[in-house]
Amino acid sequence: MKRILYLVAAIVIFTFFFLSVFKISAEETQSSNYKMIGVSFGSAGGVSGTNDGGDEYKLLGLAGEPISDDRFESTNYKALPGAPNVLVANVPIISCFETVTDGFTQCTDVDVNPDGMVMLCGQGGCYDRARFEIDTQNNPPDTLYTIQIKEVGDSEWSYIDGSTFIVEDISSHDINDFLTESSWESTASNFNILGLRMNTSYEIRAIALHGDFTQSPPGPTETATTANAQIYFDIDIADNTGNSVETMSPYSVNLKVLNPGIINTAGNLIWLDIGTNAEGGLFVQIEDDYNGLRSNTTNYTISSWDVDLTSVASGFGLVEYLSYETMLGPLNVESGFGNGGDIVGGLSTTPKNIYNTSGNPVYEGRAALYVKAKSDTNTPSESDYKDELTFTLIGTY
């Protein structure tokens, strides 16, 4: 009989654990076969919530602590109180998601702040890439994050690949796409979303993970719109201060009277405003109609070529006065046009490169060119000497 009693006690104890959510009265703590002394569930004993079938409930742990699963939520948040949920990572926030910011930013990286994404992408902002930063909401530094993304209006979310930073389908998403905040934000190029479509609005949101079974719900969304691919170009005719009233095409520079043997410099310069978000930058080409200053009346041309006008009888060309940029680039003058003084670059009907942006985008590039000419005693006198110049900008996307 002693062995049988042990068996009965084991069965009763098992039943007790299974039914631990029910109230146990004092008279149920003993029988003719067993006796339980000091039955207690601690301060958490009892059952909370609604009747059977309700949406709130509480399981009572044997250690005297509650295991709560009361869920409070709305369209904007979900709070999960109780012992199991204190392990869940805090819901992260996207603190900046930017593509075209100009003169301001919410991002903290020094390559973006204070002037925004034009500091990274050039004139007009980014047409195929973006930067975001994460507000960790006090998660530990080793917390991992994954980033969901979709075009505004789409119903399905995709993810940002943790290695390539391009958009990937959910079927390709795995644990390798979870990175620390530092890994997401400290990429070599300062971009952490690549391969976007131009002139398209995107939403992103972050999810945190800090160990097994700790993934947070998605955080709130942030929205940004990519730029169009852009090349900005403006020509003005002004003196060497560059502060004259804005001019409109057709543009005209007057060399006035060309006295033989004297180098004549036009009173106004050709001013160029240049900008682009082309990833590979741009270069500026120039060509003319007559290979120099042409008089149709006399059928004579003052030839143009790369030359020091002080050492020849006659000639015609352009020479740089200045060039600079606000950001990126730099904007560089091509050889032949940047020697200064009276050393001019020659013009021809074949396009020649005159400026480049060093293979980079450029923001607020500006340049100015002098127009110089010299005639000699063999130059027929006439008032219709002219040349027509064409500037062409070519971007590398």
Indicate if 263 and 199 belong to the same structural domain.
no
Encode pLDDT of 169-189 as tens digits. Answer: 999 999 999 999 999 999 888
Indicate if 237 and 221 belong to the same structural domain.
no
Residue 358 lies in a domain: yes
Angle (CA) 184 188 193, round 5°: 50
Indicate if 30 and 66 belong to the same structural domain.
yes
Indicate if 235 and 131 belong to the same structural domain.
no
Prior bond to 250 cis, omega within 30? yes
Residue-level length of the chain: 397
Indicate if 69 and 169 belong to the same structural domain.
no
Whichever domain contains 174, its CATH number is: 2.60.40.10
CA distances from 63 to 17, 42, 178 (A): 13, 8, 35
DSSP annotation of 174 reads: -
pLDDT of res. 29: 53
pLDDT < 70: residue spans in the chain: 1-87, 244-246
**Sequence letter at residue 330:** P
**Residue 82 structure tokens:** 């109780």
Chain position carrying tokens 């009965």: 8
Encode pLDDT of 107-159 as tens digits. Answer: 999 999 999 999 999 999 999 999 999 999 999 999 999 999 999 999 999 99
Q: Among 180, 207, 225, where does a domain finish?
A: 225
Instruction: State residue 123 phi and psi, 5-degree precision.
Output: -55, 125
pLDDT of res. 57: 39
Measured in whole angstroms, the distance separating CA 365 from the mean position of its chain's CA atoms is 21
Indicate if 138 and 69 belong to the same structural domain.
no
Residue 305 lies in a domain: yes
Indicate if 211 and 331 belong to the same structural domain.
no
Indicate if 122 and 199 belong to the same structural domain.
yes
Helix (H, G, I), strand (E, B) or coil at 203: strand
Chain position carrying tokens 């969901």: 148
Q: How far apart are CA 233 and CA 283, in angstroms?
A: 12
Q: 76: Cβ–Cβ under 8 A, 6 or more apart, which residues?
A: 220
Helix (H) / strand (E) containing 232: strand 231-238
In 69-221, which residue ranges form alpha helices assigned H by DSSP? 118-121, 181-185
Q: Among 225, 247, 276, where does a domain finish?
A: 225
Residue 85 lies in a domain: no
Question: For the chain, how many structural domains are there in total?
Answer: 3
Indicate if 379 and 327 belong to the same structural domain.
yes
pLDDT of res. 212: 83
Residue 86 lies in a domain: no
Q: How far apart are CA 78 and CA 119, in angstroms?
A: 38
Q: 89: Cβ–Cβ under 8 A, 6 or more apart, which residues?
A: 139, 143, 208, 209, 210, 214, 215, 216
Helix (H, G, I), strand (E, B) or coil at 370: strand
pLDDT of res. 30: 60
Q: Among 183, 200, 225, where does a domain finish?
A: 225
Residue 87 lies in a domain: no
Q: 272: Cβ–Cβ under 8 A, 6 or more apart, which residues?
A: 233, 234, 235, 284, 355, 365, 366, 367, 368, 369, 391
Residue 70 lies in a domain: yes
pLDDT of res. 88: 84
Indicate if 286 and 209 belong to the same structural domain.
no
Give the range of the structural domain holding residue 102, as residue numbers without chain letter: 93-225
Residue 88 lies in a domain: no
Q: How far apart are CA 275 and CA 365, in angstroms?
A: 6
Indicate if 249 and 376 belong to the same structural domain.
yes
Instruction: State residue 275 phi and psi, 5-degree precision.
Output: -160, 155
pLDDT of res. 325: 97
pLDDT of res. 389: 97
Whichever domain contains 328, its CATH number is: 2.60.40
Residue 84 lies in a domain: no
Q: How far apart are CA 119 and CA 112, in angstroms?
A: 6
Indicate if 137 and 218 belong to the same structural domain.
yes
